[in-house]
Structures are given as C-alpha cells and as structure tokens.
C-alpha cells in the first residue's frame, strides 16, 4: 500500500494519546468496549479519565497479539522502540520519543524511561527483555513522569503488573510447540490460603527456541541461536486486618542463549564515507548464517563460540494502610542481576567481546495518597531512595588474519555505585465538575561513583595499565503542570476528555564504560539529559461505547541529548556516550479501537507527523560530524516520520465451541539508527496472525504465526569496527493448548 495513503489514513482516523488495545469479552452479548482500570497515576482509575498518554494492554490482548516478551511491545505502543542489543537476546536497547540507550549491556547504562515490575524500578537493562508470564496488564506511559515515578522517567515508564491473589481461585496451564524447536510450558495458580485473609499464587514458565541461525564455519557447522529460559514467581497477599493490605512477591528468571547472532554484511555499492541503508546491505554468507570459528580466545571470559546467560531475582514488599481519607504505603524492592555474554560482533569471527555484570539494587518508596477538601483535591506525596552497586569485568579479542592474528586486545574491570534520593508531590484540584488542574514537582539528587581498571594486551597498540576514578553528584527539580476538561455527553459521544500538560523530564548523567584500545573516552562523565515536553490530547468513547479514539500531540525540547557513538581516533575505535546538544521533537500519537459488530474488534495505533531536528550541536559530537564523515545533515536517531499497527480479531460460536482468528500488520517508515547518522533503516513491515478454537468451558487451542511474510530486514548494527547486523526473526509458528479454570 502506498505510504502517503497509509499516512493519510492514520491522520484521518487519529486526528484526535492513549487508547488501550482492549476489546469486549468474546463471550459478551453486546459489542461494547470494556472499561480498563489503570494505575498510571499511582491510584486506580479508568483509562479514559487519566490525563496521561497510556497504552494499556490487558492479559487477553497480550495473548491475541502474541506479545510474549518486552520487545514485542514496540509493535503496539506508539513512539516506543525495543531493539535487541548486539550482545544478547535478553538485553534490549530502548528508545522512546527520540531518547535512547544503546549500550544496554553496561552496568552504567541509564534507560530513558523507567521500567517497573509490580511498582519496583528495574535499573539494569541486562535482562530487560522481560518474559511476560502471569502478567495481568502492561501500561506504557509516555512523556516525563518524574512527579510520580522513581528514576529516569525522562520520556515515560513501562509498568508490568502481575496478578495478585485474592479470594477468587484460578488455575491456568498451557503447552506449546512450533518450528525452530519452540517449546513452551506455563502454569499459574492462585487463591485463598485460609479464612483469615491469606491468599497466595504461583506461576512458572519454560521456553525453548533454537536453530533460527546456522554457523557455517567448518569447525562448528551447526544450528545456532539457542534461547532457553525459565521463570517463576510466588506472591502472598494478606488483608485480614482492617485497613491493612500486604503483598509480598519473589520472582526468579534464568536464561541461557547463544548470545547475539550478528550477521556479517557489506555495502559494495556504497563507499565507507557515505550513509548507507538496510537495502544497501549484502549479507556475506546469508541473512541467517554466521561464520564464527571455534577457537580458544585470550581475553577474559571469551568462550569458543558465542554464549550467554542471565539470572535475575526480584523481591518486593508492598504494604498499604488506610488512615482516614488517606493511604500510607511502603514499597520495598530488591533486584539481583547476573549477566554473562561472549559475542562475535562481526558474524565472521573477527571481533569478540565478553562481559560478566553482577549488580545488586535496593529501593524504598514511602508515599501518602488520599483525597481532601470534600474530595475536590487528590494528592500524592512521598520519598524515594535507591542504591545500586555492581561490578563488570570485560574482555576483547581481535582475529583479522594478517593484521590482528588471533590477538587479545584488552581486559577491563568496572565498579559502579549509585545512590539516589528524591522527594515528590502531586495534587489535582477539581475546579468544577468538569475542569481539573494538576501540579506536581520532584527533587532528585544522585551520587555516583565509577572506577575502571584497564589492562592492555596488545603491546604497542594499547596501554599496559590505566585507571579511571570518577565521582559525581547530579541534582534536578522537575515540575509538572496540567489541566483537563470532561465534556458533557451528547449524541454519539459517550465520554470525552481533553487535556494539556507541560512537564520537565530528567535522566541522570553518567559514564562511558566501554574501553577497548584505551581509556580516552572514559575519563569524563556525560551530563544529565533533560527535556520540556508540552502535549495536548483527547480521550473519547463514542457510538454506544463501540469506538474509542485516544490521541495526543507532543512537542519536546531536549537538552544535552545523550547518545551512544562510535568514533575513530588515530585509527582506533572508541564508544563514548556523548551529549550531542539540543533538539526539538514533535509528533502525533494515536490509538483507536472499534467494535463494529459482536465478536469483531478493529485496532489502529501508531505515530504520524513526527518531526525531529537538532537545534544546537556539540561541535565534537558524532552528529556534528555527520556531514563531514557521511555526507548527510544529522537528525536525531530512531524517529521515523510515521509508523502504525493495524489489526483485527473476530470470534463466533459454532456447534463445538467458539472459533476466533485475527491478524495485525506493523509498519515503520525509515529511520536513523544511531548518533553517527551512518546507517538508515529502510521502511519495513511485519505481520502476525492466529486462529483459535475454544472447544469447552476450560479448554482451547490456538495456532499462531509471527512474521508471516518472512521479512528478513537488517534492523540494527554497524559496518565499521564491529561490523555485524541483526535481522528480523524469520517466520515462526506455534501451536498452543490451554486449560483455564477461573
């Protein structure tokens, strides 16, 4: 379909931020959209009454849209990108509204948006490709969220909310099998444990995938691309004392894989000093073929062939006590993350790197939430404390025959610590029955320490021994102001709210931790990134709750935009995080859901009219040198002019049960991948589909296909020093049998 036609369609349907992908229950008697309750403002409220752009995805929709891991969210949440990091399939490089973090494997990496599991902030991006087991709902908040959420919510937050046990019992189980040795088994059960307020739940999941890639090297000659993981979560809920509510949760995940499978590719028709596109890339061996030799490496922890493992423990204690018209709450969290990867970054055995991060994180949040002044004022205030300590040894080898013949380059050892303290408050006052004003503010102070020990292993090329020792404090005050107005219902309008807000976002400063040929890029920290974002939006239900149109337009002024860069100094590659300068970013985000008939749901979500440009550049930064290095004027990365996801699902009753089927198509326009502006991904699409049968009250079966057109676009990577690329996953299919007893 013509791109201009698609853009016109998106704008026409969405000229009106945040609808859910929810649909009416397939067993309902009338075709209406269900109400979705979210906690975007740290209290329960209907999605359509929250003046914040939120994508709320229910458990039912997670299943229908085949959202099985965190990276799948990028197909449905406007402005969000979650690309596989080049080190490991468990690490994602996140981007939202033009702010991004591409060194997701480093223990000093700071995400541009907060990631939360049951209200506990997850600082590490190692293992952030969360496997979605026993998830009740996912909420993707867009825009600065500092007055309500803990750290680094520069451009938004993602909340994973697992099911909390109560007085209702349930037991769900599923078994799946498919191509590429796919095997999945999951179970979830919960309910009351006693008559005096105790309830509990347990869930577990096992996944296996292998053979999407092939290693053609004669010393290996085998399928590769293993991804095997299991995860379990236990929760206890106690509400046996009046006004007291306690939820304790512990989860553990363990993932093993063949690390990142990077495809060797060249641009034979595009010179090295010119920008290239994904259409210019020619895979050296084939789109899903690598040529990694099985050799003994010299750098620390580098394995013979790529391998990886990630373990993560998340424990939380959430205590709430109602006191008059307010609730006092304590949220205590602990996160332990151990990661290990050894990767061939070239797909041809030329460059190998390894790392073993080990990080412990503690957090404590105290809040008071309530209403006052005859319920005209709702308020939230609190304190937040966060501590994180970690170590990360890394090693690098190079194997360029005739240049670097089987030679270790360097080893490093990084130690990092962060202490963060903040105080925050937000209040909303009902000026009239229809008009509400909101104001909030957060003060944050971060204290950071960074030590790097560098040991060169290539005499004459790398320094024998070097150290970096840094300590920095960062403080920031981030306010928010908003107003919303609820229009009276009339005619075809069932509900409509319009809103406007302006808020300041903040992401802490930090350090460059990758040191291969020396420490020149590691000696100075980068500054905090901030933005002022103004947006206007509308949320409306129409036509007897059959049509939901939520949309917003945002305008962001970013300062000290922090970007990962690859630079060449004296012929040697470096990988600093740079403050590129100032930028303006704006665009339309939309989500539309319609139920035109019983059993039929249509969805359309995406972005349009996106415009991003640098207004001021640091003259030494990678974007400032894009014209000289690649012949192009730099633009902020990972911001396509438009993208969309269009889908449907339909269900109807038959004599043996209920048949359902559906499909969706995601498309993104072209976009720059990184700060250098060297690589532009050409626009591409990807489709998914399913068909299912519920053949009794408790049993159902579903056949699902991902990437049904078998697109094989290369969507991230580098042709430079590292030189490998990551493709879209090939077409896969999965047959699942479910048992549900609610």
pTM of the model: 0.93
- Mean per-residue pLDDT for 373-386? 96
What percentage of the chain reaches a pLDDT higher than 70? 93
Residue 464: CB partners within 8 Å, gap ≥ 6? 455, 456
Position 706 scores a pLDDT of: 96
Q: What is the pLDDT of residue 2?
A: 43
Which pLDDT does position 664 carry in this prediction?
A: 96
Strands 326-344 and 351-355: antiparallel
Tell me which DSSP letter residue 637 carries: S
Place of tokens 């197909």: 75
In angstroms, rounded to a whole number, what is the distance separating the alpha carbons of residues 393 and 340? Answer: 10
- Of 70, 101, 140, 79, which is closest to residue 668 (Cα–Cα)? 79
Calculated CA dihedral for residues 188, 707, 54, 368, nearest 10 degrees:
30
Say how far apart CA 292 and CA 349 lie, in whole Å: 5
Structure confidence by residue, pLDDT tens digits, 470-506: 999 999 999 999 999 999 988 899 999 999 999 999 9
φ/ψ (deg, to 5) at 14? -120, 15
C-alpha 249/C-alpha 73 separation (Å) is 24
Q: What are the residues facing 398 on neighbouring strands?
A: 351, 407
Cα-trace Rg, the chain: 25
- Residue 554's pLDDT band (cuts 50, 70, 90): very high
Check residue 131 and give its pLDDT: 67
Residue 19 has pLDDT above 50, yes or no: no
Is pLDDT of 400 > 90? no
Strands across the sheet containing 263-266: 282-283, 263-266, 724-727, 714-717
The residues that bridge with 337 in the sheet, in sequence order, are 312, 359
Q: pLDDT band at 435, cuts 50/70/90? A: very high
Tell me what the pLDDT averaged over the chain comes to: 91
Instruction: Give mean pLDDT, residues 225-249.
Output: 96
User: Where exactly are the structural domains of the chain?
Assistant: 17-741
| pLDDT tens-place string over residues 146-157 | 999 989 999 999
Determine the pLDDT at residue 405: 58
**Rounded to an integer, what distance in angstroms lies between the CA atom of residue 217 and that of residue 221?**
5
Angle at 448 between CA 127 and CA 341, to 5 degrees: 25
Percent of the chain with pLDDT over 90: 78
Through-space distance between the first and last CA atoms of the chain, rounded to whole angstroms: 43
* pLDDT score for 28: 41
> Among candidates 583, 579, 468, which has minimal Cα distance to 110?
579
214 within 8 A of 261, measured Cβ to Cβ: no
Residue 403: per-residue pLDDT: 54
Which tens digit of pLDDT belongs to each residue from 97-147?
999 998 889 999 999 999 999 999 999 988 776 666 688 999 999 999 999
Note whether 385 and 421 are within 8 A (CB).
yes
Centre a 10 Å sphere on the Cβ of residue 684 and count the other Cβ atoms it contains: 18
**pLDDT tens-digit profile of 599-649?**
999 999 999 999 999 999 999 999 999 999 999 999 999 999 999 999 999
State pLDDT tens for residues 335-349: 999 999 999 999 988
Contacts of 650 by beta carbon, 8 Å cutoff, 6+ apart: 599, 600, 601, 660, 661, 662
- Secondary structure of residue 317 in the 3-state scheme: strand
pLDDT of 11 > 60? The answer is: no
pLDDT at residue 132 in the model: 64
The mean pLDDT value for 352-378 works out to: 95
The total of other beta-carbon atoms located within 10 Å of residue 315's CB is: 15
CA distances in angstroms from 532 to 115, 170, 422, 553, 589, listed in the order given: 21, 45, 19, 14, 18
* pLDDT of residue 71 exceeding 90: no
Please tell me the distance from the alpha carbon of residue 235 to that of residue 233, in angstroms, as a whole number: 7
Structure tokens at 17: 């931020």
Binning pLDDT at 50, 70 and 90, where does residue 528 land?
Answer: very high
d(CA 357, CA 340): 7
477-481-486 Cα angle (round to 5):
155
What pLDDT, in 10s, does the model give residues 678-707? 999 999 999 999 999 998 889 999 999 999
Question: 17-741 belongs to which homologous superfamily?
Answer: TonB-dependent receptor, beta-barrel domain (2.40.170.20)
Q: Give φ, ψ of 627 to 5 degrees.
A: -65, -45
Q: What pLDDT, on a 0 to 100 scale, did the predictor assign at position 483? A: 98
CA distance 298 to 283: 28
pLDDT band at 297 (very low <50, low <70, confident <90, very high): low
* Residue in the structure block whose two tokens are 């170590």: 391
Q: Tally Cβ neighbours within 10 Å of residue 31.
A: 18
Greater confidence (44 vs 533) lies with 533
At 723 the pLDDT is 77
The predicted pLDDT at position 324 comes to 87
pLDDT at 63: 87
d(CA 667, CA 665): 7
The half-sphere exposure of 216 on its side-chain side, counting CA atoms within 13 A, is 12
Phi, psi of 379 (to 5 degrees): -145, 160
Structure tokens at 413: 């050892």
Q: Are 352 and 397 in contact (CB under 8 A)?
A: yes
Residue ranges of E strands in 258-376: 263-266, 276-277, 282-283, 289-290, 307-323, 326-344, 351-355, 358-372
Looking at mean pLDDT, say which of 68-82, 345-359, 377-391 comes out highest.
377-391
Chain centroid to CA 479? 25
Query: What is the pLDDT, as a whole number, of residue 1?
Result: 40
Quote the strand ranges of 638-723, DSSP E.
Answer: 643-654, 657-668, 671-672, 679-681, 684-694, 699-706, 714-717
Residues linked to residue 448 through DSSP beta bridges, in sequence order: 418, 472
- Residue 248 in this model has a pLDDT that exceeds 90: yes
Q: Which is more confidently placed, 457 or 666?
A: 666
Q: What is the pLDDT of residue 21?
A: 40
Residue 269 DSSP symbol: T
pLDDT at 303: 84
Q: What is the pLDDT of residue 350?
A: 85
């Amino acid at each position: 379909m013509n791109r201009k036609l698609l853009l016109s369609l998106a704008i026409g349907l969405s000229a009106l931020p945040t609808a859910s992908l929810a649909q009416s229950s397939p067993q309902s008697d009338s075709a209406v959209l269900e109400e979705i309750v979210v906690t975007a403002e740290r209290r329960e409220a209907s999605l359509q009454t929250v003046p914040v752009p939120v994508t709320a995805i229910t458990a039912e929709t997670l299943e229908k849209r085949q959202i099985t891991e965190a990276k799948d969210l990028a197909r449905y949440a406007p402005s969000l990108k979650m690309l596989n990091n080049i080190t490991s399939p468990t690490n994602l490089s996140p981007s939202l509204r033009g702010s991004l973090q591409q060194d997701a494997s480093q223990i000093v990496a700071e995400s541009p948006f907060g990631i939360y599991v049951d209200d506990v902030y997850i600082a590490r991006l190692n293992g952030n490709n969360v496997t979605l087991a026993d998830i009740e709902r996912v909420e993707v908040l867009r825009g600065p969220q500092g007055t309500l959420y803990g750290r680094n919510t520069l451009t938004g937050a993602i909340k994973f909310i697992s099911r909390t046990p109560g007085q209702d019992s349930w037991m769900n189980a599923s078994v799946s099998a498919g191509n590429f040795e796919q095997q999945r088994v999951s179970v979830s059960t919960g309910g009351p444990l006693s008559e005096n307020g105790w309830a509990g739940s347990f869930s577990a999941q096992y996944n296996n995938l292998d053979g999407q890639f092939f290693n053609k090297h004669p010393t290996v000659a085998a399928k590769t691309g293993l991804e095997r993981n299991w995860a379990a979560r236990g929760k206890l809920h106690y509400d046996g004392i009046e006004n007291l509510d306690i939820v304790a949760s512990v989860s553990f995940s363990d993932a093993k894989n063949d690390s990142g499978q990077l495809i060797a590719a060249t641009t034979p028709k595009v010179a090295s000093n010119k920008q290239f596109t994904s259409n210019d890339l020619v895979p050296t061996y084939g789109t899903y073929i690598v040529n990694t030799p099985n050799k003994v490496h010299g750098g620390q922890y580098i394995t013979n062939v790529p391998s990886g493992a990630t373990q993560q423990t998340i424990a939380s204690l959430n205590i709430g006590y109602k006191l008059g018209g307010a609730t006092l709450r304590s949220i205590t969290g602990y996160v332990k993350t151990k990661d290990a990867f050894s990767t061939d970054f070239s797909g041809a055995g030329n460059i190998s790197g390894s790392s073993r991060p080990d990080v412990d994180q503690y957090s404590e949040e105290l809040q008071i939430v309530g209403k006052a002044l005859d319920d005209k004022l709702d308020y939230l205030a609190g304190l937040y404390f966060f501590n994180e300590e970690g170590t990360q040894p890394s090693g690098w080898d190079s194997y360029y025959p005739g240049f670097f013949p089987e030679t270790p380059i360097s080893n490093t050892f990084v130690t990092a610590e962060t202490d963060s303290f903040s105080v925050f408050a937000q209040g909303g006052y009902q000026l009239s029955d229809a008009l509400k004003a909101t104001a909030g503010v957060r003060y944050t102070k971060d204290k950071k320490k960074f030590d790097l020990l560098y040991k060169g292993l290539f005499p004459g090329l790398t320094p024998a021994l070097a150290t970096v020792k840094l300590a920095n404090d960062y403080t920031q005050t981030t306010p928010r102001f908003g107003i919303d107005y609820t229009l009276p219902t009339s005619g075809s309008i069932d509900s409509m709210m319009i809103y406007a807000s302006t808020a300041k976002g903040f992401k802490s400063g930090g350090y460059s931790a990758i040191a291969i040929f020396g420490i020149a890029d590691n000696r100075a920290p980068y500054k905090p990134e901030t933005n002022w974002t103004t947006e206007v939006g509308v949320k409306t239900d129409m036509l007897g709750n059959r049509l939901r149109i939520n949309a917003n337009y945002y305008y962001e002024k970013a300062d000290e935009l922090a970007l990962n860069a690859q630079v060449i100094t004296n012929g040697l590659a470096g990988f600093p995080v740079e403050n590129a300068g100032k930028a303006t970013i704006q665009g339309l985000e939309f989500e539309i859901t319609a139920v035109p008939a019983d059993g039929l749901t249509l969805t359309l979500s995406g972005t349009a009219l996106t415009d991003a440009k640098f207004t001021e550049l640091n003259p030494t930064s990678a974007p400032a040198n894009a014209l000289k290095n690649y012949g192009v004027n730099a633009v902020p990365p990972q911001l396509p002019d438009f993208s969309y996801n269009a889908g449907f699902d339909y269900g109807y009753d038959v004599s043996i049960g209920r048949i359902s089927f559906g499909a969706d198509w995601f498309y993104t326009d072209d976009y720059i991948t990184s700060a250098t502006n060297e690589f532009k991904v050409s626009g591409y699409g990807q489709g998914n589909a399913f068909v299912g049968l519920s053949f009794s009250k408790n049993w159902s079966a579903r056949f699902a296909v991902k990437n049904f057109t078998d697109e094989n676009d290369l969507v991230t990577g580098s042709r430079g020093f590292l030189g490998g690329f990551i493709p879209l996953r090939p077409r896969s299919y999965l047959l699942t049998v479910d048992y549900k007893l609610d």
